[in-house]
Amino acid sequence: MKTVVCACVVAFVVLLVGVGADCAAQDMGLITGSDKGTYYQFGLDLQKLVKSQGINLSVHTSKGSVENIFAVYQRPGVQMGIVQSDVLAFVARLQSDPVLTRIAKKTKMVFPLYNEEIHLLGRKGITDFDDLAGRKVAVGREGSGTYLTARLLFKLSEVAPAEMLFIDTTEALGELKAGRIDAMFYVAGYPVKLLKDDVTDKDQLVLVPITNKSILEFYPQAEVPAGVYAWQPTPVVTAAVKAVLVSFDFRRKDCDNVGRFSQILSTHLDGLQKGGHPKWKVVDLNYPLRGWEQYDCVRKHLGKASAPAAPRPGQNPVLDAIKGVLDQ
């Protein structure tokens, strides 16, 4: 009889432990960007959202999109990242590196997010992108999304600056204010915290329009409305890149966790649009982003059918332009 009772007690304890494990909050990680950028603000909004749903989301800063793809692939506890869509293509094209080839093949879209406007900040007197010819321009730290996009813009437009400086955006802004460079790029969804907090009328800086026809044939045209920044009184035409929430092709636990996370995001998008960063208002989770496949674990939790086949090489001119940059 004692044996039976003991067996029952052991079984009950095991059951309780199992239930406790299932009910325990799940730890997940999201890698974003600079703590003054839109990626990071999105991360904080998501952290707040999922906490009440039993997910402890750690939000990590980073130096750029390429770092984020590597982190999702290999950094423990980081299951997701936010990157630029052209950076995904950049990695996919580095076919000489077997590790990067595997990463590109296994990197999956969770959701498309929003258009990231290309902020070209310059000294007064620079009136258009084409005026960058012969100038000193900061294009972002190597490996960042800003760095890749800026290089592509110069290739597409055939505009040749005198010098490209590979420094991060905070350092670039300091150099620009000091008059040691003529312009800087920052690819991020407006309003960008760095430009709101650290630029004033006294700096005598302007957002420079990007109207080059060759650029706007490859990237969608966008606009930074008047007054987004206190020192910017008029709307500015520019181009945009899509920001994408990505994961790796994980199986088992991470697959389920990312799927559950996506379900929470999908069903609470309206709350984020009301109380989160202003860019949430333009997020379309069903936007058909060409060339990238949605993670099957996400589709399963959203009750979607299998993903359509990705376009064949040569069907996307942006990817072809990226390949041209990498072949140089």
pTM of the model: 0.73
Range of the domain at 71: 26-115+242-314
Least confident span in 253-262, 270-279, 297-306? 297-306
What was the pLDDT predicted at 319? 47
Model confidence at 8, pLDDT cuts 50, 70, 90, reads very low
Position 129 in a domain: yes
**Dist CA 194 CA 204 (whole Å):** 16
Q: Is the model's pLDDT at 27 over the cut of 90?
A: yes
Q: How far is CA 6 from the centre of its chain?
A: 55
The pLDDT confidence band at residue 247, using thresholds 50, 70 and 90, is very high
Q: Does 302 lie in the same domain as 162?
A: no
**Domain end among 222, 241, 260:** 241
Shared-domain flag, residues 138 and 233: yes
Instruction: Verify that 143 and 202 share a domain, yes or no.
Output: yes
Please report whether residue 254 resides in a domain. yes
Q: Name the token pair of 40.
A: 């990071």
Q: Please calculate the CA angle 169-172-174 and round it to the nearest 5 degrees.
A: 115
Q: What is the pLDDT of residue 44?
A: 97
Instruction: For residue range 287-320, list pLDDT tens digits in order.
Output: 888 777 899 999 999 998 655 544 444 444 444 5
Q: Calculate the average pLDDT of the chain.
A: 85
134 and 172 part of one domain: yes
Is there a domain that residue 153 lies in?
yes
Are residues 232 and 120 both part of a single domain?
yes
Q: Tell me if 18 is assigned to some domain.
A: no
- 89/315 Cα distance (integer angstroms): 13
The tokens describing 284, both together, are 């379309």
Give the residue from 208, 179, 194 showing the smallest Cα distance to 120. Answer: 208
Question: Does the pLDDT value for residue 53 go beyond 80?
Answer: yes
CATH of residue 272:
3.40.190.10
Reported confidence tier of residue 95, pLDDT bands at 50, 70, 90: low
Please give the average per-residue pLDDT across 47-59, as a whole number: 96
Give the model's confidence band at 162: pLDDT under 50 very low, under 70 low, under 90 confident, else very high: very high
The kind and range of the H/E element at 40 are helix 38-51
User: Does residue 230 fall inside a structural domain?
Assistant: yes
In a domain, 49, yes or no: yes
Question: Do 141 and 213 lie in a common domain?
Answer: yes
Residues 152 and 197 in one domain: yes
Mean pLDDT across 200-210 = 97
Scanning the chain, the segments in alpha helix (DSSP H) are 2-23, 38-51, 65-74, 85-93, 98-106, 145-157, 169-177, 193-197, 213-216, 252-267, 269-275, 296-302, 317-326
Same domain, 98 and 52: yes
Residues 305, 278: one domain? yes
- Specify the pLDDT at position 152: 86
pLDDT at 85 over 70: yes
- The answer to whether residue 325 sits within a structural domain is no
Structure confidence by residue, pLDDT tens digits, 99-153: 776 787 788 999 999 999 999 999 999 999 999 999 999 999 887 889 889 988 9
pLDDT in tens, 187-198: 988 888 899 999
Final residue before a domain boundary, out of 241, 276, 303: 241
Which domain-ending residue is among 241, 276, 305?
Answer: 241
Are 132 and 210 in a shared domain? yes
Total structural domains in the chain? 2
Same domain? For 84 and 130 the reply is no
The answer on pLDDT for 21 being more than 50 is: no
DSSP 8-state code for residue 279: G
Considering the domain architecture, whether residues 71 and 137 belong to the same structural domain is answered as: no
